A and B are shown apart, each in its own frame.
Chain A
Amino acid sequence: MKRLLAMTVALVLPLSLAACGTKGGAETNTGSADGVQTGVGVTDSQITLGVMADLSGPFKSLSTAITHGNELWVKDLNASGGVCGRQVKLEIVDHGYKAETAKTLYPQLEPKVLGFVQLTGSPIMAALGKDIETDKVTTTPASWSSELLGNPYVMIVGTTYDVEMIDGLSYLQKQGLLKDGDAVGHIYVDGEYGANGLRGSKYYAEQHNLKLSEVKITSTDTDLTNVVTGLKGKGVKAILLTTTPKQTGSAAAASKALGLNVPILGNNPSFDPALLQSPAASALNKLYIVASSVPYSADIPKAKEIAQKYQAAGYKEPPNAGVPYGYAVAEVWGSVLRKACDNKDLTRDGIHKAMQQTTSADTEGLVAALNFGSPGAPATRQVYVAQPDASVPGGTKYVQQLFEADQAKTYKAPHEQ
Chain B
Amino acid sequence: MTTFLQLMVNGLGKGAVFALLALGFVVIYKATEVVNFAHGSLVLFGGYLVLVTKDHIGWAAAAIIGILSAGLLALAVERLLLARSRHADPFSLALLTIGVDVIITEEIIRRLGVSVPFIGDAWDAKPIQLGGITLFRTHLVALLVATVLITAFFLASRYTNWGIAMRAQAENREAAALVGIRSSRVTASAWLLAGLLAGIAVLFIATQDFSGAGLSRGTHSIALAAFPAAILGGLDSTVGAIVGGVAVGLVDALSTYYVSFAFAKSAVFLVMLVVLVVRPAGLFGTRETTRV
Contacts and interface: CB of A to CB of B under 8 A. Distances in A.
Q: Do A and B bind each other?
A: yes
A89 interface: no
Contacts of A274: 116
Decide if the interface of chain A is mainly helix, strand, loop or mixed: helix
A273 interface: no
Contacts of A1: 235, 280-281, 285, 288
Given A3-B91, A216-B261, A258-B6, A223 B134 contact: no
B6 A229 contact: yes
B239 to A, nearest CB: 17
Interface residues of B, number: 49
Nearest to B139: A225
Interface stretch (A30-38, A72-80, A245-253, A348-356): A245-253
B37 interface: yes
A253 B257 contact: no
A215 B261 CA distance: 7
A280 interface: yes
A257 B136 contact: yes
Interface stretch (B45-53, B142-150, B174-182, B208-216): B208-216
B257 A229 contact: yes
A5 B214 CA distance: 31
Contacts of B118: 278-279
A4 B114 contact: no
A407 interface: no
Contact of B91 (A7, A221, A247): A7
Contacts of B218: 220, 222
B125 A227 contact: no
Contact of A229 (B7, B129, B281): B7
Interface stretch (A55-63, A127-135, A366-374): A55-63
B223 interface: no
B248 to A, nearest CB: 13
Given A8-B227, A8-B231, A233-B257, A225 B212 contact: yes
A61 B208 contact: no
B256 A230 contact: yes
Interface string A207-242: 000000001110011111111011011000000000
Contacts of B136: 225, 257
Contacts of B35: 4, 7
Contacts of B11: 226
A376 B112 CA distance: 41
A229 B212 CA distance: 14
Given A220-B218, A226-B261, A56 B114 contact: yes
A233 B2 contact: yes
A317 interface: yes
Interface string A63-75: 0100000000000
A405 B156 CA distance: 67
Interface in A241-288: 246-247, 249-250, 253, 257-259, 274, 278-280, 282-283
A223 B211 contact: yes
Nearest to A55: B114
Given A61-B114, A222-B211, A230 B264 contact: no
Contacts of B98: 11
Interface string B84-96: 0000000100100
B262 interface: yes
Given A8-B227, A61-B114, A2 B280 contact: yes
A230 B98 CA distance: 37
A230 B7 CA distance: 8
Given A60-B114, A226-B11, A253-B125, 14 more contacts: A1-B288, A216-B262, A217-B261, A225-B10, A226-B7, A227-B256, A230-B256, A253-B208, A257-B127, A259-B129, A259-B132, A259-B134, A274-B116, A279-B209
10 contacts: A5-B231, A8-B231, A215-B260, A225-B212, A226-B11, A233-B2, A233-B257, A247-B212, A250-B212, A279-B120
